[in-house]
A and B are shown apart, each in its own frame.
Chain A
Amino acid sequence: MTTAGRADQPDQPDQPDQPDQPDQADQPDQCSYTLSVNGQEHELRGAWMGESLLYVLRNRLGLPGAKNACEQGECGSCSVLVDGELVCSCLVLAATAGGREIVTVEGLGAGERFTDVQVAFTETGAVQCGFCTPGLIVTVHDLLERNPRPSELEIREAISGNLCRCTGYGRILEAVETVRDARLAAASRAAPVAAGATRQEGAG
């Protein structure tokens, strides 16, 4: 765990550097609370009250999937779901997130297996350095849950809060469209009558 202050380490996006307090529950600005992450309860003891959820996930719970690049809501690499809402975990005060259901990229899909979104990202070349990828994966899962048939414009708007410095976004769009089309095709195979009534076979 890092103990350095921001001023000493301005360029280390991978290490959130909020003040790390010793584990003594009796300091006035320390908190103990329970967080539910990916279906598991975690006890936090003597954490500094100002810690962001991102910091707690990465540095206290050992869940490094959510990435830290800006700590100001601009990059989306720390995206998680809180009670089913897509948010930047760097902007959630961890001590107020007790009793809420937190899902990180580690909690998507079943156990070790990659989700269809993760597979599509790797297969289309939407992953280069990979720093933005976990945040985008969470965002794309959220998008396709809410809107199974997003247009290109809707995809662009949905991922507008996730910055990628490597890919130029073309392959990311392609990956999302691949999953969208595959899911729609699977749904129409599962319910051919209903799907055939509204659109042509195979058109999805």
Chain B
Amino acid sequence: MSYDCAVSVRVPDSLEELVTGLAADPGCELLAGGTDLMVEINFGRRRPASIMSLSRVTELKGWSEDAATGELVLGGALTYTEMLQPDLAGRLPALAQAARTVGSPQIRNAGTLGGNLATASPAGDTLPVLVALDAVVVVESADGRREVPVGDFVTGAKRTALRPHDVVHSVRVPTRRTRQEFLKVGTRNAMVIAVCSAAVVVDLDSCSVRVALGSVGPVPLRAHEAEELAGEVLDWDAGGVLAGDAHRDGALERFAGLVSAASRPIDDHRSTAAYRRHAVGVCARRALERVAA
């Protein structure tokens, strides 16, 4: 697509064109769904000198299964609405659950996985899910491609391992036999930034549980001690379920306590730290009950 202002707004047709364009103009801002960037532009908080839209870069769209490794490859420009389609939602139910809580239908039609990662808000709803799924971010630039585990990709609140000329190409999710759940607390069921969230993945292949927390720290946090406890109390011979004995409630209570202890929340206009610490334990406990009951 050519515009008169070819210098300032470009809509490249391929990944190649995108990364070479970025290498030549590393100050250029990428635009995917616009649900973060356009708000900044509308309010005059950012005024990029040049913008490249991802809307025609087909290599970043949709998702696929890597025939060699069996991994799921989620495109950097995968939208929340696409995460909710039955094919993908059936494979990654926790991601679909997180996607369903994002914004509104309008936001889910536009907003993308790559945008959520690049923004790296502490409340970014896909982040704890991707951490709990052990996902890896594939970053592409004119110098080549590299893979960064999600936990290392998000380096701080709104900070990432992306360099100015990098693009989130895709996210690779290992395919293991799992049961997964995501829960989020907010003041409404729609259009709400998370007060806290928790993703729980029961991994039947490695007989382990992964727990990642959102909105209770600058980055998504793993709750390692809670994970160890859950790994011990689940009956793996019976398929990773909670034994229905007298210790069950006590174990769940301890699990919630360890999750709360792993959180590092702050007070802000959305919630107190004390409420977040409590609620994130409740979320994780309920999530574990749902996937291991």
The reply to whether A88 and B4 contact each other, CB–CB distance below 8 Å, is no
| Stretch of A71-79, A106-114, A119-127 at the chain-chain interface | A71-79
Report chain A residues within 8 Å CB of B31: 93, 96
The reply to whether A92 and B43 contact each other, CB–CB distance below 8 Å, is no
* Partner pick for A160 among B1, B41, B49, B190, CB 8 A cutoff: B190
Report chain B residues within 8 Å CB of A5: 44
Most buried by B among A5, A18, A33, A87: A87
List B residues 43-57 near A (Cβ within 8 Å).
Answer: 43-44, 47-49, 51, 53, 55
List A residues 70-106 near B (Cβ within 8 Å).
Answer: 71-74, 76, 79, 85-88, 90-93, 95-96, 98-99
Most buried by B among A32, A93, A157: A93
* Partner pick for A6 among B3, B9, B43, B191, CB 8 A cutoff: B43
How long is the Cα–Cα vector from A50 to B53 in the complex, in angstroms?
A: 12
B186 within 8 A of A: no
Report chain B residues within 8 Å CB of A18: 42
How long is the Cα–Cα vector from A160 to B104 in the complex, in angstroms?
A: 6
How long is the Cα–Cα vector from A72 to B189 in the complex, in angstroms?
A: 19
Closest CB in chain A relative to B57 CB, distance in Å: 12
Q: How many residues of B contact A (CB 8 A)?
A: 35
| Stretch of A23-31, A175-183, A185-193 at the chain-chain interface | A23-31
* Partner pick for B106 among A31, A49, A79, A96, CB 8 A cutoff: A79
Contacts A52-B38, A92-B38 given; indicate if A160 touches B9 (C-beta within 8 A).
no
B33 within 8 A of A: yes
* Partner pick for A50 among B3, B11, B47, B109, CB 8 A cutoff: B47
B105 within 8 A of A: yes
A118 within 8 A of B: no
How long is the Cα–Cα vector from A73 to B109 in the complex, in angstroms?
A: 12
The reply to whether A28 and B35 contact each other, CB–CB distance below 8 Å, is no
Report chain A residues within 8 Å CB of B233: none
A15 within 8 A of B: no
A139 within 8 A of B: yes
The reply to whether A161 and B42 contact each other, CB–CB distance below 8 Å, is no
Report chain A residues within 8 Å CB of B109: 85-87
Contacts A18-B42, A90-B42, A157-B190 given; indicate if A49 touches B9 (C-beta within 8 A).
yes
Contacts A87-B110, A161-B105 given; indicate if A95 touches B38 (C-beta within 8 A).
no
A144 within 8 A of B: no
The reply to whether A71 and B39 contact each other, CB–CB distance below 8 Å, is yes
Closest CB in chain A relative to B32 CB, distance in Å: 11
A63 within 8 A of B: no
A158 within 8 A of B: yes
How long is the Cα–Cα vector from A90 to B106 in the complex, in angstroms?
A: 11
The reply to whether B189 and A160 contact each other, CB–CB distance below 8 Å, is yes
Closest CB in chain B relative to A120 CB, distance in Å: 20
B274 within 8 A of A: no
* Partner pick for B3 among A29, A52, A98, A161, CB 8 A cutoff: A98
The reply to whether A49 and B38 contact each other, CB–CB distance below 8 Å, is no
The reply to whether A96 and B11 contact each other, CB–CB distance below 8 Å, is yes
Most buried by A among B5, B48, B110: B5
The reply to whether B5 and A86 contact each other, CB–CB distance below 8 Å, is no
* Partner pick for A91 among B47, B49, B105, B110, CB 8 A cutoff: B110
B34 within 8 A of A: yes
List A residues 153-171 near B (Cβ within 8 Å).
Answer: 157-158, 160-162
Closest CB in chain B relative to A153 CB, distance in Å: 10
Chain B, residues 36-79, CB within 8 Å of chain A (1/0): the string is 00110111100111010101000000000000000000000000
Report chain B residues within 8 Å CB of A28: 5, 7-8, 49
The reply to whether A93 and B34 contact each other, CB–CB distance below 8 Å, is yes
The reply to whether B106 and A76 contact each other, CB–CB distance below 8 Å, is yes
* Closest 3 A/B residue pairs (Cβ): A161-B104, A160-B190, A31-B5
Chosen A-B contacts, 10 in total, with CB atoms closer than 8 Å, are: A32-B4, A73-B38, A73-B39, A76-B104, A92-B110, A93-B9, A93-B51, A95-B5, A96-B55, A162-B104
